[in-house]
Amino acid sequence: MASANSQNDIVIVGAGIIGLYVALALAQRGHGRSISVLAEYLPGDTAVAYTSPWAGCNFSAISGTDANAIRWDKAGYEFLRGIEATVGDKSFVKRTPSTEMWDDVVPHDKIKAMSEYLENFRIIPSEKLPKGVVFAVSFTTVTINAPKFMEYLHARLQNEYGVRFQRQKIDHIASAFTPSTRIVFNCTGNAARSLGGVEDPKCYPTRGQVVLVRAPSVKRNMMRHGLDHETYIIPRPGTSGHVILGGYMQKGNNDGSTYKSETESILERTRGLSKDLRAGQLEILATVAGMRPSREGGARIEREQRAVHGQQRALVHNYGAGGTGFQAGFGMALEAVQHVEDVLATLDTARTPARL
């Protein structure tokens, strides 16, 4: 039976990149006016408990080696390239040359899978590798100005698709269901560990400190997967030469403070990696720390049925994106949406043309 079209048919809890991608995947299928996004923090906000604005951010081989990660990455890369090609600078996504290096364990099978779709993919000959590096590739990545890209998606979801955003903190996932709600998407990131009705003990934060600098000579994305550190240089699209330098992957660490010793280590490691950074002027603009929403076993994309308001309703979990919410998140969103095809088919939603 079709329900009367209501803005609360679909409720998305969370307005980080994961909630925004789910809203976009649904809106592109014509469900924009059936969606309310509820979140304590919205695009434009900054808070330690809101991970997305702190992301570097790029597409890289830092993601997991499992079949899910490989599939989500591919969908994410295609999506981001499509956004860049159709929207251009206003999306704050940019195709950028990238070099990625490994000092130790090289995920060859995964790199092979990526080589089949990454633009301009090349293996760098071993005689050209810097000291300590055992394998390296170059390709065209997508770099993303994370806070600006979120603001772009936020505006587009509201203005083009009629998605409603509401600032609200909930204590229990059941509170997201109004009497007319048919589906709730749980996109609460790190909060999935403590949110009532979810309380997933597999979730944990992975802290990263980054340094935002102005270094206009840097045009290339560089990453080095070291023995003890992840080191990366990411030029930020749509800025006057801003570059993110990182970083750290500190499992289980929820400390939002920043540390001078870490800033110094980041500057030393990134200068060692890039002659452009060594050659040009470098002005430190900010030092920040963010918590990647990690999860043992990888992200959870799963549907369950909950009895609410005397009805069985669909609850779709989509959290635990770790360090790859921007690159893999659109693939995750498509999969989360597939879990409720049966319910979506019953919604009486005015269709709008599907566009990128």
Ligand X SMILES: Cc1cc2nc3c(=O)[nH]c(=O)nc-3n(C[C@H](O)[C@H](O)[C@H](O)COP(=O)(O)OP(=O)(O)OC[C@H]3O[C@@H](n4cnc5c(N)ncnc54)[C@H](O)[C@@H]3O)c2cc1C
Q: Which residues bind ligand X (CB under 6 A)?
A: 13-19, 38-41, 50-52, 54-58, 169-170, 187-191, 195, 208, 210, 247, 290-293, 319, 321-327
| Sign (positive or negative) of CA dihedral 300, 303, 305, 309 | positive
Binding site annotation covers 292?
yes
- Output 198 or 277, the one with its CB closest to ligand X: 198
In this structure, are residues 19 and 194 in contact, taking their beta carbons and an 8 Å threshold? no
In this structure, are residues 292 and 163 in contact, taking their beta carbons and an 8 Å threshold? no
CB of 329 to ligand X, least distance (A): 7
CB of 314 to ligand X, least distance (A): 19
Binding site annotation covers 188?
yes
- Output 40 or 151, the one with its CB closest to ligand X: 40
Residue 54 makes CB contacts below 8 A (sequence gap 6+) with: 46, 146, 208, 210, 288, 289, 290
Q: Which of 315, 312, 293 is nearest to 22 (CA)?
A: 315
Binding site annotation covers 265?
no
- Output 113 or 187, the one with its CB closest to ligand X: 187
Binding site annotation covers 323?
yes
Residue 338 makes CB contacts below 8 A (sequence gap 6+) with: none
Indicate the residue whose CB is closest to ligand X.
16
CB of 194 to ligand X, least distance (A): 8
In this structure, are residues 79 and 142 in contact, taking their beta carbons and an 8 Å threshold? no
CB of 338 to ligand X, least distance (A): 19
- Output 237 or 325, the one with its CB closest to ligand X: 325
CB of 226 to ligand X, least distance (A): 16
In this structure, are residues 235 and 221 in contact, taking their beta carbons and an 8 Å threshold? yes
Count the alpha carbons within 13 Å of 84 in the hemisphere toward its beta carbon. Answer: 19
Other CB atoms within 10 Å distance of the CB of residue 51: 26
Binding site annotation covers 310?
no
In this structure, are residues 248 and 262 in contact, taking their beta carbons and an 8 Å threshold? yes
Binding site annotation covers 257?
no
- Output 17 or 347, the one with its CB closest to ligand X: 17
Binding site annotation covers 238?
no
Binding-site residues for FAD sit at: 51-52, 188
Binding-site residues sit at: 51-52, 188, 225, 232, 292, 323
Binding-site residues for D-dopa sit at: 225, 232, 292, 323
